Amino acid sequence: MHLLVMSKKHPKTRKQTGLAPGTMVFTGTRKVDEVKVHYLKYNTTEIFETEYTSHDAVKVIPVDQELVDWYDVRGLHDTDLIESIGKSFEVHPLVLEDIVDVRQRPKYDEYPLGNFIIARALSFDKDLREIIIEQVAIYFNKGLLLSFQENKSDLFIDIRNRLRTSGGKVRSRGADYLCYALIDALVDNYFVVLDEIEDEIDTIEQRLLIDPDEKIKIDIHHLKRETLKVRKSITPLRDSVSRFSNSDSPYVDQGTELYLRDLNDHVIQIVDISETYRDVLNGLQDLYLSEVSNRMNQVMKVLTVVTTIFVPLSFLTGLYGMNFVDIPELQNPNGYFYLLGAMVLIFLALVVYFKRKKWF
Amino acid sequence: MHLLVMSKKHPKTRKQTGLAPGTMVFTGTRKVDEVKVHYLKYNTTEIFETEYTSHDAVKVIPVDQELVDWYDVRGLHDTDLIESIGKSFEVHPLVLEDIVDVRQRPKYDEYPLGNFIIARALSFDKDLREIIIEQVAIYFNKGLLLSFQENKSDLFIDIRNRLRTSGGKVRSRGADYLCYALIDALVDNYFVVLDEIEDEIDTIEQRLLIDPDEKIKIDIHHLKRETLKVRKSITPLRDSVSRFSNSDSPYVDQGTELYLRDLNDHVIQIVDISETYRDVLNGLQDLYLSEVSNRMNQVMKVLTVVTTIFVPLSFLTGLYGMNFVDIPELQNPNGYFYLLGAMVLIFLALVVYFKRKKWF
Amino acid sequence: MHLLVMSKKHPKTRKQTGLAPGTMVFTGTRKVDEVKVHYLKYNTTEIFETEYTSHDAVKVIPVDQELVDWYDVRGLHDTDLIESIGKSFEVHPLVLEDIVDVRQRPKYDEYPLGNFIIARALSFDKDLREIIIEQVAIYFNKGLLLSFQENKSDLFIDIRNRLRTSGGKVRSRGADYLCYALIDALVDNYFVVLDEIEDEIDTIEQRLLIDPDEKIKIDIHHLKRETLKVRKSITPLRDSVSRFSNSDSPYVDQGTELYLRDLNDHVIQIVDISETYRDVLNGLQDLYLSEVSNRMNQVMKVLTVVTTIFVPLSFLTGLYGMNFVDIPELQNPNGYFYLLGAMVLIFLALVVYFKRKKWF
Amino acid sequence: MHLLVMSKKHPKTRKQTGLAPGTMVFTGTRKVDEVKVHYLKYNTTEIFETEYTSHDAVKVIPVDQELVDWYDVRGLHDTDLIESIGKSFEVHPLVLEDIVDVRQRPKYDEYPLGNFIIARALSFDKDLREIIIEQVAIYFNKGLLLSFQENKSDLFIDIRNRLRTSGGKVRSRGADYLCYALIDALVDNYFVVLDEIEDEIDTIEQRLLIDPDEKIKIDIHHLKRETLKVRKSITPLRDSVSRFSNSDSPYVDQGTELYLRDLNDHVIQIVDISETYRDVLNGLQDLYLSEVSNRMNQVMKVLTVVTTIFVPLSFLTGLYGMNFVDIPELQNPNGYFYLLGAMVLIFLALVVYFKRKKWF
Amino acid sequence: MHLLVMSKKHPKTRKQTGLAPGTMVFTGTRKVDEVKVHYLKYNTTEIFETEYTSHDAVKVIPVDQELVDWYDVRGLHDTDLIESIGKSFEVHPLVLEDIVDVRQRPKYDEYPLGNFIIARALSFDKDLREIIIEQVAIYFNKGLLLSFQENKSDLFIDIRNRLRTSGGKVRSRGADYLCYALIDALVDNYFVVLDEIEDEIDTIEQRLLIDPDEKIKIDIHHLKRETLKVRKSITPLRDSVSRFSNSDSPYVDQGTELYLRDLNDHVIQIVDISETYRDVLNGLQDLYLSEVSNRMNQVMKVLTVVTTIFVPLSFLTGLYGMNFVDIPELQNPNGYFYLLGAMVLIFLALVVYFKRKKWF
Residues of E in contact with A98 (CB under 8 A): 262, 265
pLDDT (tens digit per residue) in B47-91: 888 888 766 656 666 666 678 899 999 988 888 888 888 888 899
Q: Where is E264: in which H helix or E strand?
A: helix E257-319
In chain E, residues 181-200 whose CB comes closer than 8 Å to chain A: 181, 184-185, 188-189, 191-192, 195, 198
Confidence of residue B96 (pLDDT cuts 50, 70, 90): very high
Candidates C231, C239, C303, C340: best to mutate against B (most CBs of B within 10 A) is C303
pLDDT at C9: 39
pTM (global) more than 0.90? no
pLDDT at C358 over 70: yes
Do the Cβ atoms of A21 and E262 come within 8 Å? yes
pLDDT at C1: 41
Do the Cβ atoms of A321 and E318 come within 8 Å? yes
Nearest-angstrom CA–CA distance, E215 and D178: 54
% residues pLDDT > 70 (chain D): 91
CA torsion, points E219, E220, E226, E232, in degrees to nearest 10? -160
Q: Which residue has the higher pLDDT, B6 or D174?
A: D174
Mean pLDDT of all residues belonging to chain A: 87
Smallest CA–CA separation between E297 and chain A, in Å?
Answer: 6
Residues 6+ apart with CB under 8 A from E104: D265, D269, E98, E118, E135, E137
pLDDT at D56: 64
pLDDT at A29 over 90: no
pLDDT (tens digit per residue) in D98-118: 998 888 899 999 999 999 999
Do the Cβ atoms of D322 and E321 come within 8 Å? yes
Candidates A176, A298, A304: best to mutate against B (most CBs of B within 10 A) is A304
Q: Give phi and psi for E68, each to the nearest 5.
A: -110, 125
pLDDT at C173 over 90: no
% residues pLDDT > 70 (chain E): 91
Do the Cβ atoms of E18 and D359 come within 8 Å? no
Query: Cβ-count burial of C354 within 10 angstroms (0-12 exposed, 13-18 middle, 19+ buried)?
Result: middle
pLDDT at B7: 37
Smallest CA–CA separation between D27 and chain C, in Å?
Answer: 12
Smallest CA–CA separation between A338 and chain B, in Å?
Answer: 19
Q: Which of D111-147 are b and which e, b meaning 16 or more Cβ less than 10 Å from the residue's Cβ?
A: beebbbbbbbbbbbeeeeebbbbbbbbbbbbebbbbb
pLDDT at C62: 63
For D301, nearest residue in chain C (alpha carbons)? C304
C46 touches chain D (CB under 8 A): no
A25 touches chain E (CB under 8 A): no
Do the Cβ atoms of D317 and C322 come within 8 Å? yes
Confidence of residue A15 (pLDDT cuts 50, 70, 90): low
Confidence of residue B128 (pLDDT cuts 50, 70, 90): confident
Least confident of A311-320, B186-195, E95-104: E95-104
Mean pLDDT of all residues belonging to chain C: 87
Average the pLDDT over E160-181 and give the result.
Answer: 84
pLDDT at D110: 92
E290 touches chain A (CB under 8 A): yes
pLDDT at E36: 87
Least confident of A64-68, C281-285, E224-228: A64-68
In chain C, residues 119-148 whose CB comes closer than 8 Å to chain D: none
pLDDT at A8: 41
Smallest CA–CA separation between E304 and chain A, in Å?
Answer: 5
Give chains near D: 3+ CB pairs under 8 A. C, E
pLDDT (tens digit per residue) in D63-95: 666 788 999 999 888 888 888 889 888 999 999
Least confident of A44-53, B303-312, B320-329, C15-24: C15-24
Q: Give phi and psi for A130, each to the nearest 5.
A: -140, 150
Mean pLDDT of all residues belonging to chain B: 87
pLDDT at B4: 41
pLDDT (tens digit per residue) in A260-283: 999 999 999 999 999 999 999 999
pLDDT at E65: 63
Q: Which of D210-222 are b and which e, b meaning 16 or more Cβ less than 10 Å from the residue's Cβ?
A: eebeeebbebbbb
Q: How far is CA B204 from CA A239, B200, E307, in A?
A: 42, 6, 36
pLDDT at E134 over 50: yes
Nearest-angstrom CA–CA distance, B154 and B208: 39
pLDDT at E5: 40
3-state secondary structure D158-181: HHHHHHHCCCCHHHHCCHHHHHHH
Q: Which residue has the higher pLDDT, E60 or D212?
A: D212
Confidence of residue D55 (pLDDT cuts 50, 70, 90): low
pLDDT at D36 over 90: no
Which among A170, A300, A311 has CB closest to B296? A300
Smallest CA–CA separation between D300 and chain E, in Å?
Answer: 7
CA-wise closest residue to E286 among E351, E196, E220, E199: E220
E289 touches chain D (CB under 8 A): yes
pLDDT (tens digit per residue) in D142-161: 889 999 998 877 889 888 88
Do the Cβ atoms of A292 and E291 come within 8 Å? no
% residues pLDDT > 90 (chain E): 52
Average the pLDDT over A302-310 and give the result.
Answer: 93
pLDDT at E186: 94
Average the pLDDT over C152-159 and give the result.
Answer: 84
Which among E269, E280, E297 has CB closest to A292? E297
Nearest-angstrom CA–CA distance, A320 and B33: 82
pLDDT at B9 over 50: no
pLDDT at A169: 74
Average the pLDDT over A183-211 and give the result.
Answer: 92
Q: How far is CA A63 from CA A41, A89, D261, E304, in A?
A: 10, 9, 52, 80
Which among C1, C307, C320 has CB closest to B202? C1
Confidence of residue B360 (pLDDT cuts 50, 70, 90): confident
Average the pLDDT over C166-195 and give the result.
Answer: 88
pLDDT at D72: 92
pLDDT (tens digit per residue) in A134-149: 999 999 998 899 999 9
Nearest-angstrom CA–CA distance, D108 and D93: 16
Give chains near C: 3+ CB pairs under 8 A. B, D
pLDDT (tens digit per residue) in D186-204: 999 999 999 999 999 999 9
B278 touches chain C (CB under 8 A): no
pLDDT at B16: 65
State the count of interchain CB pairs (< 8 A) between D and E: 161
Residues of C in contact with B198 (CB under 8 A): 1, 3
Residues of C in contact with B300 (CB under 8 A): 296, 299-300, 303
pLDDT (tens digit per residue) in C212-253: 888 899 999 999 999 999 999 999 999 999 999 999 899 998
Confidence of residue B109 (pLDDT cuts 50, 70, 90): very high
For D160, nearest residue in chain E (alpha carbons)? E18
Mean pLDDT of all residues belonging to chain E: 87
Q: Where is B122: in which H helix or E strand?
A: strand B114-125
Measured in Å, how far apart are chain C's first and last C-alpha atoms?
45
Residues of D in contact with E210 (CB under 8 A): none
pLDDT at D26 over 90: no
E283 touches chain A (CB under 8 A): yes
D20 touches chain E (CB under 8 A): no
Do the Cβ atoms of A192 and B17 come within 8 Å? yes
Whole-complex ipTM = 0.82
pLDDT at E63: 61
Smallest CA–CA separation between D110 and chain E, in Å?
Answer: 25
Least confident of A205-209, C28-32, D183-187: C28-32
3-state helix, strand, coil in chain D (%, to 5): 50, 15, 30
Least confident of C65-69, E12-16, E53-57, E308-312: E12-16
C206 touches chain D (CB under 8 A): no
Nearest-angstrom CA–CA distance, E15 and E21: 12
Candidates C178, C193, C254, C319: best to mutate against D (most CBs of D within 10 A) is C319
pLDDT at C122: 93
For B258, nearest residue in chain C (alpha carbons)? C111
Which among E261, E280, E327 has CB closest to A225? E280
pLDDT at A201: 94
B105 touches chain A (CB under 8 A): yes
Do the Cβ atoms of B321 and C321 come within 8 Å? yes
pLDDT (tens digit per residue) in C36-58: 889 888 888 888 888 887 666 56
Nearest-angstrom CA–CA distance, E237 and E118: 8
Do the Cβ atoms of E188 and A302 come within 8 Å? no
pLDDT at B319: 92
pLDDT at C80: 87
pLDDT at E348: 96
Give chains near E: 3+ CB pairs under 8 A. A, D
Residues of E in contact with D300 (CB under 8 A): 296, 299-300, 303
Nearest-angstrom CA–CA distance, D21 and B154: 55
Nearest-angstrom CA–CA distance, A104 and A118: 8
Query: Cβ-count burial of D48 within 10 angstroms (0-12 exposed, 13-18 middle, 19+ buried)?
Result: exposed
